[in-house]
Amino acid sequence: MDLFSVVLSSAASWATKRVLDAAAECVCGTSRGNSIPNQAVTQLTCPQCRNGISQFTNATNHTVNRNGSVAAAHISHANWERWGGLWNFKPHFRVDAVNSKYEDLVLLISLSRFGGEQFFKDQMILKPKWERTSWSDCSWSIDPCKFPKGKNTFAMDLVVMNMWGDKLNSVRQLGEYDS
């Protein structure tokens, strides 16, 4: 599951159009024209190698490069071991980025009671080293005493954004705790 490199047909076209004229280039090198809605998730599939991904596109002043390529990131494989009570809560996940201009990405985590108040938040900085960069095992270690007392459902929200706060991807996953 690799990100596609979305390249706009005109670097400025995002400003006036809700749907972008773009080429989506697969990691295998296959490129084809696409109409990609801006600030939305699109299912992209490669006709050649069958790589497919639900990718969020957000073309802004700060995400569109001079050549029209659009910075994108993706969070996947979010998981954790069953609630341990005494042990730290350790969510793991993977982040992929493409066309990020080697600029820092900010990763936010927050935990909240499902439908209720937030009880933990933190952030980390990711530094892309290549045109395509993957962080295959990002993780946090959170003291279980951060969780409210009782037995309940919680939501973990992960958001990756650029330094200007443009959202590149977000995911929400639910779990159970008993503290």
CB of 111 to Zn ion, least distance (A): 36
Where does this chain touch Zn ion (CB under 5 A) — which range of 50-58, 71-79, 143-151, 154-162? 50-58
Q: How far is residue 94's CA from residue 113's CA, in Å, rounded to a whole number? A: 24
How deeply is 141 buried, as exposed, middle or buried, from its count of CB atoms within 10 A (0-12, 13-18, 19+)? exposed
Tell me: does residue 112 bind Zn ion (CB under 5 A).
no
Distance CA 168, CA 97 (A): 9
- The yes or no reply on residue 46 touching Zn ion (CB under 5 A) is yes
When the beta carbons of 53 and 142 are compared against Zn ion, the nearer one is 53
Instruction: Judge contact between 121 and 109, C-beta under 8 A.
Output: yes
Nearer to Zn ion, 10 or 48 (CB): 48
Residue 31 in the binding site for Zn ion (CB under 5 A) = no
Query: Which residue(s) pair with 156 in the sheet?
Result: 111, 173
22 or 138: CB nearest Zn ion = 22
Cα 80 from Cα 102, distance rounded (Å): 29
**One of 34, 51, 112, 134 touching Zn ion (CB under 5 A):** 51
Instruction: For residue 111, count CB atoms less than 10 angstroms from its CB and return exposed for 0-12, middle for 13-18, buried for 19 or more.
Output: buried
Closest to Zn ion by CB, 26 or 111: 26
Whichever of 1 and 28 has its CB closer to Zn ion, that residue is 28
CB of residue 95 to Zn ion, shortest distance in Å: 21
| Binding of residue 28 to Zn ion (CB under 5 A) | yes
Report in angstroms how near the CB of residue 48 gets to Zn ion at its nearest: 5
Among 26, 44, 97, 168, binds Zn ion (CB under 5 A): 26
Query: What's the alpha-carbon Rg for the chain, to the nearest Å?
Result: 18
State which H helix or E strand residue 162 sits in: strand 151-162
Residues engaged in binding Zn ion (CB under 5 A): 26, 28, 30, 46, 48-49, 51
